[in-house]
């Protein structure tokens, strides 16, 4: 005896119109190629990185350039010194303060961050079985002390003085919620 297998009927595949999912728009692709070809094969992101990032060549020349630019504190780490030199060079080139040039370079670097260091999804947190905190509400007539059962630590409780809350408001609340 032969086994009979049930299969679903083949789905009719319709020709899909438009570009495939994830493909770039033709005009966008053309513009990207034009920009790269016109500006020495460098994209705007690559030009931004070349302007604001510190290269190994910059690291080697940092101490010498710092002396030439009369930077006072050259005892910084080579990376920091190279970054200060870049900011000083930019400030002289565009006529702004070194601090303003530092902000410009920092902004350029931060705009490049998503292309190198993508944000990661938040990992789910495992919830462990922990005892839930409890709330004990006790009321006493004015002038009476509240006696706590022996299982409770006196330091864990805050006792509000009598009349410290609005009793009228509590009464209104109780009447509204209880039919």
- Both tokens of residue 43? 């994209």
- Both tokens of residue 106? 């920092």
- Both tokens of residue 129? 């079985």
| C-beta of residue 98 within 8 angstroms of C-beta of residue 71 | no
Whole-model pTM? 0.51
Instruction: Read off the pLDDT of residues 90-138 as tens digits, 9 standing for 90 and up.
Output: 999 999 999 999 999 999 999 988 888 877 878 787 777 767 677 666 6
Whose tokens are 């200060």? That residue is: 84
Instruction: Read off the pLDDT of residues 133-155 as tens digits, 9 standing for 90 and up.
Output: 776 666 777 777 767 666 655 55
Other Cβ atoms closer than 10 A to 51: 13
Give the Cα separation of 113 and 69 in Å (integer): 29
């Amino acid at each position: 005896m032969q086994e009979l297998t049930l299969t679903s009927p083949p789905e009719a595949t319709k020709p899909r119109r438009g570009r495939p999912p994830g493909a770039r728009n033709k005009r966008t692709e053309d513009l990207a190629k034009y920009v790269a070809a016109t500006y020495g094969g460098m994209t705007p992101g690559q030009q931004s990185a070349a302007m604001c990032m510190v290269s190994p060549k910059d690291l080697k020349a940092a101490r010498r350039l710092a002396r030439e630019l009369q930077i006072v504190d050259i005892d910084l780490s080579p990376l920091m010194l190279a970054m200060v030199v870049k900011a000083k060079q930019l400030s002289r080139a565009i006529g702004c303060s070194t601090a303003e040039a530092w902000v410009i370079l920092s902004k350029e670097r931060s705009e490049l961050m998503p292309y190198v260091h993508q944000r990661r999804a938040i990992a789910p947190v495992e919830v462990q079985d922990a005892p839930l905190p409890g709330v004990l509400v006790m009321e006493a007539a004015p002038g009476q002390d509240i006696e706590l059962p022996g299982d409770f630590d006196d330091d864990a409780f805050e006792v509000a003085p009598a009349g410290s809350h609005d009793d009228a408001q509590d009464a209104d609340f109780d009447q509204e919620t209880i039919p």
